């Protein structure tokens, strides 16, 4: 019975556009893959209302001191870890704002651990180990909605009062979950039947980008479309931060760079110091009084 139900998943169906792909030239293969990939963004667009709801609860949770967790197995888990790990350097946030949990732990980031997604009991242990709490936000990721690990995670999260979001890449999940929000990206059949690392993986990455990026924008981490809260920890980011200061204040590069260093490499603080000809401490206070929103300060 389970096999009959599983074969009805759109991600398990054979893609008529990639039939006989093994008999195609490299160029033909690439055009087929590219053509299928172009369909993904439109499917993501259809789920924007649910993605927006997710961002609202994520933003409010962080404002109240709660945390965001991505949880998944295999490719889904890796994408969650990837997105979460990029938030601190991009927006100078604490590493605990966004967290990625993958079934099987760090080892599963580098190699496939077959069968781990079918072990629901490990999910609860993993969530207890990170001390998931009520009003944290738990985003379960599963292309087919068939990962027992993810279902168990969401069920446990719901039971302790966490906000839950189910992100799938099918019309309906294989395993139903009583989550607060369900994001359904119906990416359809894959170029290689069942290989959800392809279109489903692309869609998942797009959605996670939207969730984390829009949440950070809502928290004042971006001015215009500039990365004003980047963590200037290397030469590339110090240069980028300096150029942002030049762009927003009109001062020359050398002065901008000097102010950035005076501001402990905080781009936002350096901009306020220049605009108001004030000390670092005064700039920090002006930002604090406006909850970190540079636009309000300026």
Catalytic residues: 86, 117
DSSP string computed for 101-167: EETT-THHHHS--TTGGG-HHHHHHHHHHTT--TT-EEEEE-SSS--HHHHHHHHHHHHTT-EEEEE
Task: Give the chain's end-to-end CA distance (angstroms, integer).
Answer: 62
Cα–Cα distance for residue pair 140/127, rounded to 1 Å: 12
Which residues make beta-bridge pairs with 72?
Answer: 102, 141
Cα–Cα distance for residue pair 146/156, rounded to 1 Å: 16
- Decide: 149 and 117 in contact? Cβ < 8 Å: yes
Cα–Cα distance for residue pair 23/59, rounded to 1 Å: 49
Question: Which among 145, 167, 147, 153 is positioned nearest to 123, based on CA atoms?
Answer: 153
Instruction: Take residue 108 and report the two structure tokens written for it.
Output: 């599963």
- Decide: 158 and 178 in contact? Cβ < 8 Å: yes
| Helices 267-276 and 280-289: angle between axes, nearest 10 degrees | 100
């Amino acid at each position: 019975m389970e096999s009959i139900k599983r074969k009805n998943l759109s991600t398990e169906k054979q893609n008529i556009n990639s039939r006989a792909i093994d008999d195609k030239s490299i160029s033909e293969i690439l055009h087929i893959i590219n053509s299928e990939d172009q369909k993904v963004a439109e499917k993501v667009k259809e789920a924007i209302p649910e993605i927006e709801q997710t961002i609202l609860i994520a933003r409010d949770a962080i404002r109240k001191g709660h945390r965001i967790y991505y949880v998944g197995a295999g490719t889904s888990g890796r994408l969650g870890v990837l997105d979460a790990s990029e938030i601190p350097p991009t927006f100078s946030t604490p590493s605990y704002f966004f967290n990625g949990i993958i079934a099987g732990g760090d080892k599963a980031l580098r190699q496939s651990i077959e069968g781990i997604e079918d072990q629901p009991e490990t999910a609860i242990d993993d969530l207890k180990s990170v001390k998931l709490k009520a009003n944290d936000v738990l985003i379960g990721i599963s292309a087919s909605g068939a990962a027992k690990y993810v279902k168990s995670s969401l069920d446990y999260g719901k039971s302790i009062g966490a906000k839950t979001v189910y992100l799938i890449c099918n019309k309906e999940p294989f395993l139903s979950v009583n989550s607060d929000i369900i994001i359904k990206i119906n990416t359809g059949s894959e170029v290689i039947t069942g290989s959800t690392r392809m279109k489903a993986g692309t869609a998942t990455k797009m959605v996670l980008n939207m969730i984390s990026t829009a949440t950070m924008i809502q928290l004042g981490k971006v001015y215009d479309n500039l990365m004003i809260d980047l963590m200037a920890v290397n030469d590339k980011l110090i240069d980028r931060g300096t150029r942002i200061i030049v762009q927003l204040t009109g001062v020359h590069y050398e002065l901008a760079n000097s102010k950035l260093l005076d501001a402990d490499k905080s781009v936002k603080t350096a901009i306020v110091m220049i605009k108001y000809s004030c000390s670092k401490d005064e700039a920090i206070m002006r930002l604090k009084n406006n909850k970190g929103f540079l636009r309000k300060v300026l």
